[in-house]
Structure formats: structure tokens, C-alpha cells
Amino acid sequence: MLKKPLITVVFGTRPEAIKLSPLIQQLKQEKFLRIRVILTGQHSEMVAQVLSLFKIKEDDNLKIMKENQTLTHITTQILEKLKIEFTNYKPDLVLVQGDTTSAMASSLAAFYEKIPIGHVEAGLRTNSIINPFPEEANRRLISQLSTIHFAPSKKAFDNLKKDNVSGKIFLTGNTVIDALLYISNNSFKTYLSDIDLKNQRIILATVHRRENWGKNIENICHALVKILENNSRVFLIMPLHKNKLISEPIKKILFNHPRVKLTNPLSYEKLVEIIKRSTLVLTDSGGIQEEAPSLGKPVLVLRETTERVEALENGTTKLVGTDIDNIFENANLLLNNEVEYNSMAKSINPYGDGTSSKKIIDACKNFLKL
């Protein structure tokens, strides 16, 4: 009897876990495939929460995480440890997601072993090699190494065509919508019932990207204070990243404000619940730029560039950068102008219909000649 083809899925961060979990769930239901789930350990607790939520158990964890880890540490550790993994369990296809250093290093490790690579969420571009850093470089490198490209949007598909990448390109939509619908269709313990909101309007703010470390984080926090000072019914919820370079300046500026709730990193189901209840979202996150519009929430993007240009063009998101006055003016307008608010909230989300995982699996099976 012929051995079933092996697909190894490798990831290390929470955003990867969220976007790959619905795909892994469906892959595990395929009778003629073997699946291995490998964690790099770039993030630890946050990934474990997501896997528990989707009822997924990893096959191995490379456990590369250490305090104040550098990009060099992450890359070299993944290369060395995946060499062992791929020697012991050589896959017929490796799947990676997005633009993290875990994804880039895993792709390189697979390439060194001459293993085909499938790239989920391929083709995103800002066309600025250092913005965002290191994500733009990571995803460009992965595109050069990949055998199959799963583009989440027509714009991403066109970017890959323009780059003249090798291998086949498939337009699949984004698996984050699959994940979002899974959470929205299941009931979980509520979170906001623990906070006395008294009819206040919620702003969700998240900040974590490297290009915003330092002065930019401070500017964002001062802008949030200005929004609160000028809108007495607004309540801010802000999850804190575990990295102290991010969390400490936020605490210094926002900790004692009576209408601010600084939380530990939120589990995915709690994050979805808060997005649903929010009036407005301010973020530098890529995933939230896709999730919030699906729930009808305007997003102000705290970056100078974004690779999610479809949402900009559709009017569901707006780039506001990190200038204090610019953030305030755009947020204040949406909070106080119903016409402007509805023009963003009621725009069409361009990121898919919840069938992305099935499309990716069909392409994988075709590649593996199943």
C-alpha cells in the first residue's frame, strides 16, 4: 500500500495560529493525507490559547523562544531544529503562513531540503523593503522560495504575477475569515460583562509592530488620551504585548486613566467579542485590518503603509500613521459624524467568504496528485 503524502504545517506566532487553525482542522479530516503540526515557539502562551480554542494538538514544539529574542536567534534556531524535523519526518509539502520570521526561516529550511513550499496569504506588498520591518522582506523571500502561492485577494494575486514568481498561484481568499466565522458561530464565556461600561462607546486599540517601538508608541498613546479627553462617553480597551519595550511606555501614559482598561494579551474569542462590541478600532495589526471590517467596524491603521490595500480602496480602513493630531482628528470625526462613520462601517469587506481553507486544500491535493 502506498504511503499517504505528508503535509507539515509550521508556524510560531499567534496570528499564524489563528489563520492556520481552520486550515489544519480541515486538513486533519482528509483521509488520504498525513498531517504534522510543528510550532517554532516564537510565541508560546498565545499560540497555545489559539490551538486549545480550535482543538488542535501540535506534534512537536521547537521551543526556540527566549527573553529579548532577536531575529537572528529566531532564524538560526529554526533552521537548525527544522533540519532535524525534516530528516526524521520528510514532508511532501510544507505549509507556512504570512510574513513572520518563523514563516521565512521555515521556508528556507524546507528549501534547503528541497521540499516544496505552500505559502498561505501570499502576495501582500507595501513595496517598501523596510516598512513594515522585517515583514516586507520576509514575505518577498518566501515568495521566491515557494512552489504554490495562496493569494488572499485579487491585489495579492496580481502582485505575485507582477513579481513573476515561479510555481502556481491560486486566489483563495483569506483563512482569517474562516477563523472569524468559526468563533462567531460558537458561543464562549463573555469577557465584557466583567467591565462596567455604562453605555460607553468602546475603542479597541492594539500596538505591537517594530516600526512603532519608541516614540511612535508614545505618540499613539498621547493621541488616545486626547480622544478620551474630547469624548466623555468613550472607553478604551488596549491589550498589552508581553514585550516590555511595547508595554512599559503604554502603561506610563495610560495606566491611571479612569476610562482605560489595559489587559493581558486577549484570547482570540475575547478579541472577537470586543471587536463586535467596539465602535471603532485603532491598530497596527495586519489581521485586525481584515477581521474588524468583516464585523462592520471602521479601522484606523496606525502605520505609514499597509499591505492590506483592498480595505483602503473599499473604505473599510484608513491609514492615519502615528502623528498625534492626525490620529485624533480621524478618530474624533468617526465618533461624532454618523455619515462618515457609516461610510466606513457599511463598506464591503474584500477578504473572502469563509471557504479559503477548502480552496487551499483542493490545490494541495491537486499538487500531490490525489
Q: Sheet of 317-319: strands edge to edge? A: 260-263, 234-239, 201-206, 280-283, 299-301, 317-319
203 DSSP assignment: E
Contact between residue 261 and residue 236 where contact means Cβ atoms under 8 Å apart: yes
Amino acid at 267: S
Q: Which one of the listed residues 85, 92, 135, 307 is annotated catalytic?
A: 135
How many Å apart are CA 274 and CA 124, to the nearest integer?
27
CA distance 152 to 352: 8
Rounded to the nearest 10°, the torsion over CA 53, 57, 63, 64 is: -70
Pairwise CA distance, residues 59 & 77, whole Å: 18
Burial group, residue 209, by CB count within 10 angstroms (0-12, 13-18, 19+): buried
Query: Given 34, 222, 241, 259, which residue is catalytic?
Result: 241
3-class state of residue 121 by DSSP: coil
Q: Which long-range contacts (CB under 8 A, 24 or more apart) does 67-70 make?
A: 69/42
The catalytic residue among 125, 140, 149, 208 is 208
Please pick, among 201, 210, 222, 259, the residue that the annotation labels catalytic. 210
Active site residue 135: yes
Using DSSP, state whether 68 is helix, strand or coil.
coil
Q: Active site residue: 58, 85, 92, 99, which one? A: 99
Task: Classify 168 in phi/psi space as left (phi over 0), alpha (psi -120 to 50) or beta.
Answer: beta
Catalytic residue among 121, 178, 273, 284: 121
For the question of residue 229 being annotated catalytic, the response is no
Catalytic, 30? Answer no
Active-site annotation holds for 99: yes
Residue positions counted in the chain: 370
Catalytic residues: 99, 121, 135, 208, 210, 241
